[in-house]
Chain A
Amino acid sequence: MMNDIPAGLYVHVPFCRTKCPYCDFYSLTDLTTAAAFADDIRSEAELYRRDFREFDSLYLGGGTPSVLPAGKIARITGILRELFSLSESSEITIEVNPDDVTKDKLEEYKDAGFNRISVGVQSFVGGELEILGRRHDARRAERALQLIREEGFTNFGLDLIYGYQGQTRESWLFSLETALRFSPRHLSCYQLTLSDSTPLGGKRSLLRPVIFEEEKQRSFFLETSRLLTDRGYIHYEVSNYAREEKYIAVHNSRYWRHLPYLGLGPAAHSFRGGRRWWNLSSLRLYRESLREKKRPLRGEEELDRGRLLLEELMLGFRTREGVPLTLIREIGGGEEVLNGLLEEKLVVVNAGRAAPTREGFLLADKIPLRFNWGEKNGRGG
Chain B
Amino acid sequence: MARIRNFSITAHIDHGKSTLADRLIQYAGLVDEREFHDQILDNMDIERERGITIKSQTVCLPYTSRSGEEYILNLIDTPGHVDFSYEVSRALASCEGILLLVDASQGVEAQTQANLYLALEHDLAIIPVINKIDLPAADIERTREMIEAELGLDPEKAILCSAKEGKGIEDIFEAITREIPAPSGRVEAPLRALIFDAQYDSFRGAIISCRIFDGRVRPGDMIRLFSLGTVHKVEEVGVFRLRREKRKELGAGEVGYIIAGVKTVSDTRVGDTIVLEEDSKALPLPGFKEVKPVVFSSIYPINSDDNASLADALERYKLNDAALTYQRDSSAALGQGFRCGFLGLLHLEVFQERLEREFNQAIIMTSPSVRYKFVLAGGKEVTVENPEYYPDPALIEYALEPYIRATILVPDRYMGAVMTLCLGRRGTNSHFNYITRGRMEINFDMPLAEIIHDFYDKLKTITQGYGSFDYDLLDYRRDNLVKVDILVNGEVVDALATIAHVDRARPRAKEICDRLRKEIPRHMFKIAIQGAVGGKIIARSTISALRKDVTAKCYGGDITRKRKLLEKQAKGKKRMKMIGKVMIPQSAFVAVLKSDDE
Give the Cβ gap from A233 to chain B, nearest Cβ, in Å.
17
Within 8 A of B (CB), among A261-294: 261, 263, 267-271, 276, 278
B553 touches A307 (CB 8 A): no
A268 touching B556, Cβ below 8 Å: yes
Complex: how many Å from CA A194 to CA B219? Answer: 75
Q: Name the residue on A nearest B574 (C-beta).
A: A374
Bound: A256/B557 CA distance, A = 12
- Is A310 touching B550 in the complex (CB atoms < 8 A)? no
Task: Choose one: B552, B555, B569; the contact of A191 (CB below 8 Å).
Answer: B552
Tell me whether B547 and A218 are in contact (CB under 8 A). Answer: yes
Q: With A214-B547, A218-B547 in contact, is A238–B563 under 8 Å at CB?
A: no
Residues from chain A with Cβ under 8 Å of B308 in the complex:
none
Alpha-carbon separation in the docked complex, A367 to B574 (Å): 16
- Judge whether A276 and B559 touch: CB under 8 Å: yes
Q: Which residues of B contact A315 (CB under 8 A)?
A: 554, 559
Of residues 205 to 263 in A, which have CB atoms within 8 Å of B's CB atoms? 214-215, 217-218, 221, 238-239, 252, 255-256, 261, 263
- B552 A369 Cβ-Cβ under 8 A: no
A318 and B554: CB pair below 8 A?
A: yes
Contact (Cβ within 8 A) B556 A263:
yes
Residues A314 and B548 in contact in the complex (CB < 8 Å), given A255-B555, A255-B556, A366-B524: no
Q: Is A47 interfacial (CB-CB < 8 Å)?
A: no
Q: Given A255-B554, A310-B566, A310-B567, decide whether A362 and B559 contact each other with a Cβ distance below 8 A.
A: no
Check: B305 CB closer than 8 A to any chain A CB: no
Bound CA span A261–B557, Å: 12
Report the Cα distance A214→B549, complex, angstroms: 9
Residue of A nearest to B556 (CB): A269
**Is A362 a contact of B549 with CB atoms below 8 Å?**
yes
Q: Which residues of B contact A218 (CB under 8 A)?
A: 547-548
Find chain B residues with CB under 8 A from A364 CB.
549-550
Q: Please, which residues of chain A bring their CB within 8 A of the CB of B560?
A: 269, 276, 278, 301
Cβ contacts A338-361/B at 8 Å (1 or 0 each) = 000000101000000000000001
A365 contacts chain B at the CB level, 8 A cutoff: yes
A108 at the B interface (CB under 8 A): no
Query: Is A369's CB under 8 angstroms from B551's CB?
Result: no
Whether B562 is near chain A, meaning CB under 8 Å from some CB there, is: yes
Restricting to B514-560, which residues have a CB under 8 Å from any CB of A?
524-525, 546-557, 559-560
- A374 close to B552 (CB less than 8 A): no
Tell me whether A314 and B563 are in contact in the complex, defined as CB-CB below 8 angstroms, given that A238-B550, A361-B550 are known contacts: yes
- Given the interface pairs A310-B566, A344-B524, the reply to whether A256 lies near B554 with Cβ below 8 Å is yes
Q: How far is the CB of B576 from chain A (nearest CB, A)?
A: 11
* In the complex, B283 has a CB within 8 A of chain A: no
Count chain B CB atoms within 10 A of each CB in A276, A318, A365, A369 and give the residue with the most.
Answer: A365
Contact present for A362 and B550 (CB under 8 Å)? yes
**A363 contacts chain B at the CB level, 8 A cutoff:** yes
Q: How many residues of B contact A (CB 8 A)?
A: 23
> Complex: how many Å from CA A256 to CA B559?
9
Kindly state the interface size class of chain A when it binds its partner: 35 or more
Partner of B563 from A239, A252, A311 at Cβ < 8 Å: A311
Does B244 make an interface contact (CB < 8 A)? Answer: no
> Given A261-B556, A369-B569, is A310 in contact with B546 using a C-beta cutoff of 8 Å?
no
A311 near B559 with CB under 8 A, answer yes
In whole angstroms, what is the CA distance A297 to B487 when docked? 53
Contact across chains for A369 and B573 when beta carbons are under 8 A apart: yes
Q: Is A124 an interface residue (CB 8 A)?
A: no
A residues less than 8 Å from B573 (CB atoms): 369
Contact in complex: B555, A365 (CB < 8 Å): no
Q: In the complex, A221→B560 CA distance in Å?
A: 25
Interface centre among B566, B567, B573, by most A CB within 10 Å? Answer: B566
CB nearest to A360 among chain B residues: B550
Q: Is the Cβ of B555 less than 8 Å from the Cβ of A363?
A: no
Question: Is A325's CB within 8 Å of the partner chain B?
Answer: no
Taking a contact as CB atoms under 8 Å apart, the answer to whether B548 and A278 are in contact is no
Instruction: Flag if B566 contacts A252 (CB, 8 Å).
Output: no
Interface membership of A63, Cβ < 8 A: no
* Nearest residue, chain A, Cβ from B555: A255
Answer yes or no: B570 CB below 8 A from chain A CBs: yes
On whether the beta carbons of B552 and A190 are closer than 8 Å, the reply is yes
Would you call B556 and A239 a contact (CB within 8 A)? no
User: Which residues of chain B in 379-413 are interfacial with respect to chain A, using CB atoms and an 8 Å cutoff?
Assistant: none
16 inter-chain pairs at a CB distance below 8 angstroms, sorted by A residue, are: A214-B548, A218-B548, A238-B551, A239-B552, A239-B553, A255-B554, A256-B554, A269-B556, A269-B557, A301-B560, A307-B567, A314-B559, A346-B524, A363-B549, A365-B549, A365-B562
**List of 7 A-B pairs having minimum Cβ-Cβ separation, nearest first:** A269-B556, A190-B552, A364-B550, A191-B552, A365-B549, A366-B549, A269-B557
Contacts beyond the supplied A193-B552, A193-B553, A256-B554: 17 A-B pairs with Cβ under 8 Å: A191-B552, A192-B552, A218-B548, A238-B551, A255-B554, A268-B556, A271-B559, A278-B560, A310-B566, A315-B559, A318-B550, A318-B554, A362-B548, A365-B549, A365-B550, A366-B549, A373-B570
